[in-house]
Structure 1
């Protein structure tokens, strides 16, 4: 009787896991399709890839799409307990850790670009050229690689040589060998997000002052820029909360394993997937120029497919 109950429980658990995985696949597919459509729209109009804010938007879309794909692959591999060589896992984890930080850093740079456009309009054309934007993208990736290098350097310094010959289920957490590794990782991320938060608050305060002093069409444009900064701040907050998730999950694991799985699933949806779906909303749908181009290409593509 006990065996039958455990069998039924196991089948229910597997079905529940499969349902959750299916939901994740649907969400990832929806977000990827939206991102691809936005990227196609970006590439089709020359005015977009010569404008700083749209170039940074495209970088963020690519970063979000890569994170969605890689995290989804790791989720599926983890579900089926698929093991791989440690060196392959290191390469995958490097990409995941890098682009996990690229999105919030790009968000911060986009906020500063709005600050320059609204508070320093006469210098905007000089500072936000295509060449300076390309240099800015390189700087974004260099800054974003620092936490990843710190985490992997600690792992290389602490791990024994025989570990590199082993196979394991790939997860970023396997590179945290000691408690102090986790503390250092947390400190680096918290420092980064503190700087980002200060930048966004600074931009918000400065734009607010300009918004109060502006009038007419300029006032409308300024308040729209202010709302964009607020949305960036909310998106950055979700990314920040994702850094606290491992601590929350570790505490819940000590209480109940089933609750731990539910909390971890909720955290993945809310703080990994949700911030990645806000990017299309902020610039893809709220920006009138981009929205009209998107609508034009979407409808023309639909019309041609039905001829």
Structure 2
């Protein structure tokens, strides 16, 4: 019996190390890409004056905070690290906030594509840099409201909770049943609204693409971009299934925390560089020039 327990423990250790290694490698590549994009963005006036790229950079920053905070929480949960409640709550609050900001920003980017294709003559007037900045500020402001309500519920229930250290898991921060209800409602409202916007923009852009015979038209490319946004949203939505898998016994779900974070949290964020960093011809050209210059140096 002791040998079986020891073997099971070794298997769990290897599984955790495998997923943690994969996540770490992916994060390193993601962070390297962000450094390249930032260096290009701040040295290219054309990018800084384009609402599409402004929203893209904002989303990359948001995804960076999400991945780093989520990775920290994952390490603490897997290795049973006790963290002070205020620190644990801040990490979870950042992860909770940035998790919802990403799909909402996707919706804003889909609307920008919709305006560019369906109202090209008004695109420059409607999609300005100022409006892109204001749009992202409004997105973050509206998404902070559930966090503030969650903190109020937690503080009003058990004020002494903030004086202890716990294993940093989100379920350990649910000291009031209303917290879970609030989070579920905020997720549902966020994703339903985003899904409606993405569906609306896809239908409208598809109608324009249908009227244009050339498959290489901007409308056809925009339609494929919206489809990729839909796939991103689907993966983000599937990550909510981790709420049910986290409740499984550790013996049955030893690999699930790392698997859930890698597949349903990391992959949707790693798709963003593919969509706007590789498929976008203009940005792809700038990235190639930047990398070539760095390798020569």
**Alignment TM class, shorter chain as reference:** over 0.9
The aligned residue for residue 148 of structure 1 is: 147
**Aligned match of 2:227 in 226, 230, 233?**
230
CA–CA distance in 1 between the matches of 2:38 and 2:240?
Answer: 28
Does the CA contact (< 8 Å) of 1:152 and 1:175 recur in 2? no
The aligned residue for residue 162 of structure 1 is: 160
Q: SS in structure 2 opposite 1:84?
A: strand
How far apart are 1:150 and its partner, in Å?
3.2
CA–CA distance in 2 between the matches of 1:222 and 1:92?
Answer: 40
The aligned residue for residue 289 of structure 1 is: 282
How far apart are 1:4 and its partner, in Å?
4.4
Matches within 5 A, 1:254-265: 256-265=249-258
What CA RMSD, in Å, does the superposition of the two structures yield over aligned residues? Answer: 2.0
CA–CA distance in 1 between the matches of 2:2 and 2:241?
Answer: 39
CA–CA distance in 2 between the matches of 1:99 and 1:202?
Answer: 24
Matched, 1:247 2:244: yes
How far apart are 1:178 and its partner, in Å?
4.6
Q: SS in structure 2 opposite 1:257?
A: coil
- Per-residue CA deviations over 1:158-180 (Å, capped at 9, x if unaligned) read 2x222121111223332223555
- Per-residue CA deviations over 1:173-207 (Å, capped at 9, x if unaligned) read 32223555323321221111101100011111111
CA–CA distance in 1 between the matches of 2:132 and 2:265?
Answer: 27
CA–CA distance in 1 between the matches of 2:5 and 2:241?
Answer: 34
CA–CA distance in 1 between the matches of 2:251 and 2:7?
Answer: 16
Matches within 5 A, 1:83-94: 83-94=82-93
Aligned length: 297
The aligned residue for residue 274 of structure 1 is: 267
- Per-residue CA deviations over 1:68-119 (Å, capped at 9, x if unaligned) read 2111122222333222221222222222211111111110100001011111
- Per-residue CA deviations over 1:37-92 (Å, capped at 9, x if unaligned) read 22222222111011000000001111111212111122222333222221222222
CA–CA distance in 2 between the matches of 1:209 and 1:7?
Answer: 61
- Per-residue CA deviations over 1:118-164 (Å, capped at 9, x if unaligned) read 11112111111111111111111112213322332332232x22212
Matches within 5 A, 1:18-57: 18-57=17-56
1:288 to 1:166, Cα distance in 2 relative to 1, 3 A: same
**Unmatched segments (≥5 aa) in structure 2:** none
CA–CA distance in 1 between the matches of 2:166 and 2:250?
Answer: 22
Does the CA contact (< 8 Å) of 2:97 and 2:147 recur in 1? yes
How far apart are 1:24 and its partner, in Å?
2.0
1:12 to 1:223, Cα distance in 2 relative to 1, 3 A: closer
CA–CA distance in 2 between the matches of 1:7 and 1:247?
Answer: 27
CA–CA distance in 2 between the matches of 1:244 and 1:9?
Answer: 25
How far apart are 1:262 and its partner, in Å?
2.4
Q: SS in structure 2 opposite 1:177?
A: coil
TM-score w.r.t. the length of structure 1 is 0.89
Does the CA contact (< 8 Å) of 2:42 and 2:48 recur in 1? yes
Does the CA contact (< 8 Å) of 2:104 and 2:194 recur in 1? yes
Does the CA contact (< 8 Å) of 1:155 and 1:177 recur in 2? yes
CA–CA distance in 2 between the matches of 1:50 and 1:108?
Answer: 20
